[in-house]
Amino acid sequence: MLIATPAKNCLACNKSVKGRTDKKFCDDYCRNAYNNRLKAEGNNLVRNINNALRKNRRILEEILTTNEKMTKVSRENLLQRGFQFKYFTHTYSNAKGNQYHFCYEYGYLALENNWCLVVKRREI
Ligand SMILES: [Zn+2]
């Protein structure tokens, strides 16, 4: 009895792969091409997130002028400056249970009515 094995395609070039059923690539060339592409995508992802975090930090830094330890800003204002709320380096909860989101040493606490309290910490 002949068991039909499903046709498998190379993950790199999408041509059908002949040989062992667990084979994923035509050859080493395709394997390397595929792995390099994955690595490049990973690098891009890391770079984009790093850029977003740095931008968030810069925005908070701009809002917090040198002499102030904290200041209020509207969420809308942050968004207009290009702040991306989904990216932060860590969170901090104070004794009252208020959770701050930080981008490096700058952070914010979400307040009522879409206001944010921007703060800077010396030690992280
Ligand atoms: Zn291939």
**pLDDT confidence of 6, banded at 50, 70, 90?**
low
CB-based contacts of 59, cutoff 8 Å, min separation 6: 78, 81, 82, 83
Residue 54 Cα, ligand 1 centroid: separation in angstroms? 39
**pLDDT confidence of 4, banded at 50, 70, 90?**
low
Quick: pLDDT tens for 68-106. Answer: 788 999 999 999 999 999 999 999 999 999 999 999 999
Residue 42 Cα, ligand 1 centroid: separation in angstroms? 21
CA distance 8 to 22: 9
Residue 16 Cα, ligand 1 centroid: separation in angstroms? 8
pLDDT at 59: 97
54 pLDDT more than 60: yes
Residue 24 Cα, ligand 1 centroid: separation in angstroms? 8
